[in-house]
Each structure stands twice: as structure tokens, then as C-alpha cells.
Amino acid sequence: MSGNSYGKLFTVTSFGESHGAAIGCIVDGCPPGMELSEADIQHDLDRRKPGKSRHTTQRREPDAVQILSGVFEGRTTGAPIGLVVQNVDQRSKDYSEIAASFRPGHADYTYTQKYGFRDYRGGGRSSARETAMRVAAGAVAKKYLKERYGVLVRGYLSALGPIRPNTFSWDPVEENAFFWPDAAMVPGSRPTWTACARRATRSAPSDGGRHRVPPGWGEPIFDRLDADIAHALMSINAVKGVEIGAGFESVRRRAPSTATR
């Protein structure tokens, strides 16, 4: 079964390996008449760009997105939107030593077991680079939700290892490389911070704030909004947990004895 598509009415199908010719996706189901330009998508792609801070892989990619279809005279037509990003920095030699080995925590072994062999260039299809297309398609979806329904989708880094923000504000989130909501704590100079950062950029839970979602969204039973969000988030490399609302905290919170803890 195809595992490369997501969504039913608004469907994203992606393709591409970290070191192939290009990565891309088809956004099918975007309503017609919405103004859309490459700049709208590029802004979010730039936010995720590797090398944005010294704490991520040093790979440099312009990640310049091109709209191949679905937009005419600056507006979506209702036809599928083809998006592509050329892979200009392929440097396969950097990865050649792993051709004969498996990296712990990566999908190398799984892909080899499932498909008989694998594209060993930087993880191939299982590379985190795949998330670029989620960001691109997400930028289209976010724009529509905001313009049509006033629904705001945004996220921030809620924990960096044991470190949690002392104060919270959306304002600084876009101002620092960690999407950290407490301006006073950034940049962090303490070794702990830096050490955590090196990991946290891979392992910290993500938190999407959704504002004013109208009642009745989502579908009953298997496709309620909580389930779809959990499905989408848990399908991102290295995501190990998803909470909605109070999450696991709600278990303790509601127990009478917690008052005395």
C-alpha cells in the first residue's frame, strides 16, 4: 500500500530521496481561487532549512521550490499542485562509507529488510529531508485555513531535554534558531543548553498551537481530528510521542492525591 500519500479531501503525495535528482509532492484537493505563489511556500521552507543554526547538519540547501501546476494567473485552479525542489547539493561521497553498514536509529536496516536493498545515499527515502515536502504542502494548507477560516497553525519548541521555558510568548519564537518561546533564555551559553540543543533539535517534542478551530471539523470515529493529527505528527522521523490538550498530564491532574504531591 502506498504510504506516500496523506489526507483524503486535501491529499499530499510526496516523492524523492535525499540525494536523488529532486524531491517533490502533489497537493491534490486545494480549493480553487486562492492566491498562491512560490514565495508563500518558500518562507516556511526557509524556516526548516538545514544549517539554519550551528546545531543542525551542516548540509547547505537552497531548497528553492517551484510550482509546476495547479496555479494560473496567481490563483489556484483546483487542479493538482505539483511542487518540486531540485537537489543541488548531493555530495554522495560524504555518505559512501555507510553503503555497507547500518546506522543505529535510522531506517537503513528496515528498508533493506523490506525492499531487498536500499538507496544508501544519506538515508534515501527515509532521510529527514522528506519533511521538506510536508512543510511545502503544509504551507499551502495553512494559507487556506488562515484566509478562509481564520485558523492559525503554529508551533514552538516546548522542551529542550530537561530545560523548559520560564515564560511563554509567541513573539520570540520566530526570532531565534530554536523556536524558543522565552527570549531571556536565548541564546543559551551554558554547556547543558548547547549539549541538549545538539540532541533536542532531533528529539524534542513538537507542539502545534491551533486557534479557533470551528466545531465539527474532523470525521467521527477513526478520523477524528485528534487521530489525524497524531497520525501526521507520529509519521515524522524521530517523533516518539503525541499529546492532545493536557495529554498524559490529565491522568495525574484529575487524581485527588495530586494536590498533596
Q: Smallest distance from the beta carbon of 206 to its own copies, in angstroms?
A: 11
Residue 243: closest CA among 233, 235, 254, 253: 233
| CA triple 128-134-136, angle to 5 deg | 115
Q: At what angle do helices 38-48 and 131-149 cross, to 10 degrees?
A: 130
User: How far apart, in Å, do the first and last CA atoms of the chain sit?
Assistant: 48
Interface pick for its own copies out of 56, 82, 89, 94 (rule CB under 8 A):
82
Among 16-24, 56-64, 142-150, 169-177, the segment contacting its own copies (CB under 8 A): 16-24
Q: Smallest distance from the beta carbon of 169 to its own copies, in angstroms?
A: 22
Q: Is it true that the peptide bond before 187 is cis, omega within 30 degrees of 0? A: yes
Q: How far is CA 140 from the centre of its chain?
A: 14
Interface pick for its own copies out of 57, 96, 192, 206 (rule CB under 8 A):
192
261 binds its own copies (CB under 8 A): yes
* Range 215-254, binding its own copies (CB under 8 A): 215-216, 218-224, 226-235, 239-248, 250-252, 254
Cα Rg, the chain, nearest whole Å:
20
Q: For residue 25, how many other CB atoms are within 10 A of its CB?
A: 28
Interface pick for its own copies out of 53, 57, 68, 206 (rule CB under 8 A):
68
Q: Smallest distance from the beta carbon of 128 to its own copies, in angstroms?
A: 11
Distance in angstroms (rounded) separating the CA atoms of residues 226 and 238: 20
Residues 6+ apart with CB under 8 A from 141: 10, 30, 153
Please tell me the count of residues contacting its own copies according to CB under 8 A.
105
Q: Smallest distance from the beta carbon of 120 to its own copies, in angstroms?
A: 8
Q: Smallest distance from the beta carbon of 114 to its own copies, in angstroms?
A: 3
Interface pick for its own copies out of 57, 96, 103, 109 (rule CB under 8 A):
109
* Range 124-153, binding its own copies (CB under 8 A): 124-126, 130
* Range 39-58, binding its own copies (CB under 8 A): none
78 binds its own copies (CB under 8 A): yes
Q: Smallest distance from the beta carbon of 108 to its own copies, in angstroms?
A: 11
User: What is the amino acid identity at position 57?
Assistant: T
